Each structure stands twice: as C-alpha cells, then as structure tokens.
Amino acid sequence: MGRRSDGRDLTKEWQEKFDRAAYVTSADELNALDLSKVDHLLGLFEPSHMKFESDRQKDEAGEPSLAEMTSTAIDILSRDEDGFFLMVEGGRIDHAHHDGNAKRALKDGQAFAQAVQMALSKVDLDNTLILVTADHSHVFTIAGYPTRGNPILGLSVPPAKDGSPGTEPALAEDGKPYTTLGYWTGPGAVTGERPLVTSEEAQDLDYHQQAAIPTEWENHGGEDVALFAAGPWSHLVGGVIEQNVIYHIMDYAMGLSEDQSSD
C-alpha cells in the first residue's frame, strides 16, 4: 500500500481490472512467468528508483536487467497484430552523472546498450523502427591525451615521447596528476588545494570524478546529442535536426496522422 492514507491497494486493483494480468516484484518472479498466459504485466521492483547496474549485479535476488525487461516487453507486445510502441529508458545514467560518479554512469550506459542489442535481436527490422537517443548531454569531459590502453576511469597517463605507451601520469600546474574523466561542475570539486588521487582511488565505484566548480549536483550540458535509427523510415534520420522532428518521424513511420498519405 506504500504511503497511501486511504488504504487502497492499486496493484491489486490493477490486476483485477484485466484478464491474464501478472504483477511481479523481483527478477525471479519475472523469469518464472509463463508469458503465454500473460497479456498485461506490471513490474514494480523498488519503492523508488531502481538500482544502478553496478549495484544491481551485487544483488542476486532482486531486479531484472534493463535488457531482460526489454526482452519480456517485446515478447508480450509483439503478439499484437496491430503492432506496438515501446519506450525503454536507461534513466539512471543521468542520476550517476549528476552525482559526478562516472563509473556508475558508464556501467549503466553499457546496460542500456545491451537493452538496445536485445531489442535488435528480437524484432524484424523490415517492419520495426528503432530509435536511440538521449534527452540531453552532461558537462562530462575527457582530457590529458591518455595513452592507448590507459584505464578510462584512472589517472591520465600520456604516451611517452617516442610514442610508446606511457607509464607516468600527466601533472597539472599544481604538480599533481588528474583523472582522464572529469566534470565541469559537481560534488567532486574542492575548494582550496586539490587532494592527491591515485589511479586505484579514481577507479573505485563510489569515487566522485574531479570537477572544476563545486556544486551539490553536476549539471546538464548544452551540446547536440546523437540520434541513431534502424528499420523503416530510418533514412529520415540524418544531419542536424530539431528534437520535435523525432515525433514526426515516429508519427510518419506508424501512420498515425489522419491526413497522412497511405504510402
């Protein structure tokens, strides 16, 4: 019943509203479902946000991965002869960036990529349009000309003068090394003298990447973000477009507008 004060159990009401409905709260329950008997599925795995992917993997009992949820959704929705619309969001990428925590952000980015790959493996691109994009960027940077093979989360180690892989980190004007990844704003900034950070410390899961301006939370960026597409009408994606054009691409591909020609 959560925090409701009226005693209503909305999940129970939802289940009673539909035939062949299922409600799950864990990965084990989701994996145990016989999807041939389910037309409506509700999964609520946390009282608030779901876990970051790095933390989810430590929890053997609990949440399904984004790819697993994507797979289940497509299995159910694809039975509709009229087709379907599905939106999948790797929402915690944003949260990790706001916390200045690059390791969790990148790990959740990988989980999102796996969900995209899962979708590609389960649909027919002759009749299914897939769009992949972001709603904004972050003030997230890469710096220091790191040598090939240098840990992306570690200190910035440039190549040696002869071009061979380097071994010593680059030093800033204060004589201290700096991380390859950083933020313009965020909780990783300090006032006064910078602490000396080792590569091992910088690669810790809970490390807040160095930032230039101390703020409680890191901020969104303002540059363009990429839009990738595959499937019918994906050729309409190209160049620089306004964000509202994405709606019109989906509208055209699905033939929703009444004044749209049948072709």
Task: Enumerate the known binding-site residues.
Answer: 89, 94, 98, 135-136, 220
Q: Which residues are annotated as a binding site for Zn(2+)?
A: 94, 98, 135-136, 220
The answer to whether the beta carbons of residues 220 and 138 sit under 8 Å apart is: yes
In the annotated binding site for Mg(2+), the residues are: 89
Q: Please give the backbone phi and psi of residue 113, each rounded to the nearest 5 degrees, phi first.
A: -60, -40
**How many residues would you count in the chain?**
263
Phi, psi of 236 (to 5 degrees): -75, -15
